[in-house]
Structure 1
Amino acid sequence: MGYHPSYLDQFIKIQNFILRGDGPLPFVYRHYIAIMAAGRHKCSYLINLQKQEFLLQGGNPDWLNGLDHLPKKLRNLYEINKLLAHRPWLLKTSHLEELTRGNQNWSLAEVVHAIVILTHFHSLCSFVFSCGVNQELNQIDDNTTDLGETTNFTDETSESKQVDPNEGGPPSPTEPEVAITTLVQRMKTLSEQTEECTPVELAKRFENIETQSAEIAVVGSEPQETPADIGCFVDDSTFIYQDFAKRSDPHSTPIFRVQDYSWDDHGYSLVNRYYNDVGNLLDDKFRTAYHLTYYTMGGRTEIDTSRFRRAIWNYIQSLFGIRHDDYDYAEVNALLERALKAFIKSAACYPERVTKKEYDKVMREFKHSEKVCYVMIAKFNAGPWVDV
């Protein structure tokens, strides 16, 4: 994130606030909730960091033996953790009501604080895996390599690095990656179009994207057996992301229209009401991420990248059933080729399957700092509750 100081600054502020600042939850609860969140995506890097913080705050070491050792109040949070991590559209009022009733009840302020921590770490898992951080640190732990050998995290090496064809290589000749020159021309063409679509046509185009997304296979390998030191923090490991278009009951889980309930008009004030000041910090982070650009693409400068960034932003939200009524989703197909969609879908929905090799295979003409920027957009939207 150091490539983007303005975003890093906002990220550090919000993470410090929710873990160490004023708030309704005890500090040991905060770090254990972070462990629970990272466990859903099997992110050993974040789990180990939060284990250390948990113990430094005086947490009970027995809790680190797994979910069965938790107090009932904390254990009751797990169902919401599971839903938010994989299928947030299934979260209902009844889940919150169950937490706020009974002897081991949560206050609404505690629930809001917990949800902010859960979604923060769910989305952070996407960044950690998509940039190869978790993989590299695991390799170091195995004494198979060192950070300097695996990172290659400079703009210069990112552009010039040659990839062994046996290690993935560029996209296949049948699905070549769209060149930056072509991408820039497409954005220009889209900006010059004056014909407006009817609301019915816009809705059909969203549905097309939704259907196509369900047909896109994720990158990376199939999930492997979860190590015991991670598995003890995971319950119902078979519950994973399901394509929104394939949800079991479309009638009871309709498409979520941002215009009906948005962060700006509703979410911001609601969060601030129950967890003072966190709404301000979240708002600053959201706006920084949405507008983050240096007007460059690869070696080209003075490029308006807003359409490309918005296509990524809205495509990710469509994976979770969120629709912007005023957006033409045909732009997603115009600007994001299939290989990039597969990477984005994996980063947002199956981050534990993404490796550094997959990161290297997409957006090959872009500088590393630019790729990190787009991964941060995926990270941000992997916690889609922010718009609901």
Structure 2
Amino acid sequence: MDSCWCCPVQELYVDAFLHNNRLEHMVQVMSFHPDYLACFLKTQQYMLRCYGPLPYDYRHFIAIMAAARHQCSYLIGIQTNEFLLQGGDERWLKGLSHIPKKLQDLYELNKIMAHRPWLISRAHIERLTQGNDNWSIAELTHAVVLLAHFHSLASFVYGCGINAELDQSDGHSFESPGNGGGNSGKSPLSRSPHSLTGSSAHEMEGGIEVLMEKMRRLTEEAAAEEVTQEELLKRFERVETLSAELPAASKQAFSPKEDILCYVDDAEFTYQDFAKRGQPTELPTFRAQDYSWEDHGFSLANRLYPDIGTYLDDKFNTAYNLTYFTMGDNTDVDTSSFRRSIWNYIHCMFGIRHDDYDYCEVNQLLERNLKAYVKTVTCFPERVTRRDYDSFMREFKHSEKVHVNLMVLEARMQAELLYALRAINRYMT
């Protein structure tokens, strides 16, 4: 799970600076994992500044709308600057009532994708693509990708405690991983460093050893055990139910600034546990085998918004397969089952089931604090606190915690896109 610091990171920094005229804290935190950062920068550059059906001012304002659903002032500030640099109309920055009707019409989809993507239907797509000043399917696909990207990026920003740069209001400095942050105990957060208090060295080592033993045992049992589809379904439902019973971080006494609230409509609409959605017959579980990214979403995205599917696929795969075969101070560790359990747990919270996966791994490998943290970062990122970050995976290095947050970003984005692209496909057919 750990990372290395090498020359290519400096090249990525130069590239990011040339494109953005700044070196964002978000980029510096991602540089714990250079291979991922390279994919991220290429993909974001493509969707915001390269070929695509949407005009550039629309792209950045959609990013503002998406970030505002999670009250992410960090991303709103960056995208506001970009919007103005692209010649965007300053009047739009007064709020939703001042933007073109075409963008106003997108807001319902923005809200649903951010919090309950399983509610997206063919009817939502139909309403947006018909009537006066309607969205073309290509434009809507571009917009959907931007919405999913910035909703998920807000999760990463909050999950890693990223604050604004020095030239922005409430700005902070940042301790680069190149100065030892990867292994020194320095936090990737743009706040003061912390130590892993509350755990002795023995306890920290024991935690990782216990997890590694569980991973080894599950690998052996999987090879010997034949599990029926009925049993696999029961295990999925068990994880789903336990997730619904697990409280995310309690709602903080947090009042968004007026310059954020002007971009927010229906602020009370938030995540609702999929397992509590009502009668199962109303909204059945999304079976990944019926509509998967690999077999369906990828090709549709590429067809409607050329090359974006390829960029996203590289980014998804890099985050999912990222490993240095380490866990804490241990080397030669196969972390695939641990990574897979995090990814599939996130999909489970959005009602997505992988038929070929044994969900008992989730309950075996993800301890309660980690589950609670992942649920909060995924579903209520604006509620994440420094204490939440400190309390999960205490014996892991900061680069490994950043890795978990990258997986939250990508698994959440993929889940949102699966629901949105499936609805677009149903509308087209």
Q: TM-score, normalised by structure 2?
A: 0.83
Q: Specify which of 50, 54, 68 is matched with residue 79 of structure 2.
A: 50
CA 161–36 in structure 1, closer or farther in 2 if over 3 Å, else same: closer
Say whether residues 1:157 and 2:185 are aligned partners: yes
**Correspondent of 1:186 among 199, 214, 224:** 214
Deviation at 1:367, TM superposition (A): 1.1
**Paired residues of 1:180 and 1:365 also in contact (CA < 8 A):** yes
Q: Secondary structure at the match of 1:76?
A: helix
CA distance, structure 1, for counterparts of residue 380 and residue 205 of structure 2? 22
Is residue 67 from structure 1 mapped to residue 96 from structure 2 by the alignment?
yes
- Name the counterpart of 1:300: 330
Contact persistence 2:196–2:394 (CA under 8 A): no
For residues 137 and 178 of structure 1, the distance between their equivalents in structure 2, rounded to whole angstroms, comes to: 38
Partner amino acid for 1:354? V
Q: Aligned pair in 2 of structure 1 residues 146, 291: CA closer, same or farther (>3 Å)? A: closer
Per the TM alignment, residue 338 of structure 1 is displaced from its structure 2 partner at its CA by 0.7
Distance 1:269 1:248, change over 3 A: same
How far apart are 1:361 and its partner, in Å?
1.5
Q: Determine which of 108, 116, 123 is the counterpart of 1:87.
A: 116
Aligned in 2, Cα 1:80/1:306: closer, same or farther, shift over 3 Å? same
How far, CA to CA, are the matches of 1:178 and 1:77 in structure 2? Answer: 50
Pick one of 375, 379, 384 that aligns with 1:345. Answer: 375
CA distance in 1, matches of 2:205, 2:246: 16
User: CA, structure 1 residues 177+229, in 2 after alignment: closer, same or farther (shift >3 Å)?
Assistant: farther
Q: 1:248 Cα shift?
A: 3.0
Q: Structure 1, residues 43-100: CA drift from partner, whole Å, max 9, x if none?
A: 0000000000000000000000000101101110000000000000000010011000
Q: How does 1:246-257 map to 2 (within 5 A)?
A: 246-257=276-287
Q: CA deviation at 1:332?
A: 0.5
Amino acid at match of 2:416: W
Deviation at 1:218, TM superposition (A): 1.1
Query: Which residue of the partner structure matches residue 137 of structure 2?
Result: 108
Q: Which amino acid aligns with 2:111?
A: K
Report the Cα distance in structure 2 between the residues aligned to 1:239 and 1:339, rounded to whole angstroms.
Answer: 26
What SS is found at the alignment partner of 1:358? helix
User: Is the counterpart of residue 122 in structure 1 residue 151 in structure 2?
Assistant: yes
- C-alpha change, 1:153 and 1:229, in structure 2 (3 Å) is farther
**Alignment partner for residue 328 of structure 1, among 349, 358, 362?**
358
The residue correspondences of 1:11-50 to structure 2 (distance < 5 A) are 11-50=40-79
Q: Distance in 1 between matches of 2:244 and 2:138?
A: 36
The aligned residue for residue 12 of structure 2 is none
Query: Matched residue pairs, number?
Result: 377
Residue identity opposite 1:306 in structure 2: S
Shift of 1:178: 7.3
Q: Distance in 2 between matches of 1:83 and 1:317?
A: 16
Q: Which secondary structure state, in structure 2, belongs to the residue aligned with residue 59 of structure 1? A: coil
User: Which has the larger displacement, 223-232 or 27-36?
Assistant: 223-232
CA distance in 2, matches of 1:236, 1:269: 34
Structure 1 residue 379, shift from structure 2 partner: 1.0
Q: Deviation at 1:287? A: 1.0
Q: Which residue of 2 aligns with 1:96?
A: 125
**1:66 counterpart letter in structure 2:** G
1:185-217 deviation line (CA, Å, top 9, x unaligned): 000000111112111111011111111101111
Match of 1:173 in 2: none
Distance 1:295 1:163 in 2: 22
Give the percent of matched residue pairs that are identical in Structure 1 and Structure 2.
Answer: 54
Q: Which among 267, 275, 279 is matched to residue 237 of structure 1?
A: 267
Q: Give the aligned residue type for 1:45.
A: Y
Deviations 1:89-116 (A, max 9, x none): 0000100110001111000000000000
**1:385 paired residue number:** 416
The one of 345, 353, 362 aligned to 1:315: 345
Q: 1:310 to 1:163 in 2, by over 3 A?
A: closer
TM-score (norm 1): 0.92
- Displacement of 1:221: 4.4
Other structure's SS at 1:77 match: helix
In the alignment, does 2:304 pair up with 1:271? no
Aligned equivalent of 2:316: 286
- Give every structure 1 segment of 4 or more consecutive aligned residues whose post-TM-superposition deviation is greater than 3 Å: 140-143, 145-149, 151-154, 158-164
Q: Residue 235 of structure 2 corresponds to which residue in structure 1?
A: 205
8 Å Cα contact 1:158/1:367 also seen in 2: no
CA gap 1:325/1:306 in 2 versus in 1, 3 angstroms: same
Q: CA deviation at 1:163?
A: 5.5
- 2:169 and 2:207 mapped to 1: Cα distance? 38
CA distance in 1, matches of 2:81, 2:250: 30
**AA aligned opposite 1:97:** E
| CA deviation vs aligned residue, 1:151-207 (integer Å, no higher than 9, x gap) | 99442115995366xxxx56xxxxx99700000000000011111211111101111
Equivalents in 2 of 1:276, 1:223: separation in Å?
Answer: 44
C-alpha distance in structure 1 between counterparts of 2:261 and 2:418, whole Å: 31
- For residue 33 of structure 1, report the CA deviation from its aligned partner: 0.1
- Amino acid in the other structure paired with 1:181: E
SS in 2 for 1:132: coil
Moved more, 323-332 or 31-40: 323-332
Look up the SS of the partner of 2:267 in the other structure. Answer: coil
* Deviation for aligned residue 1:385: 2.5
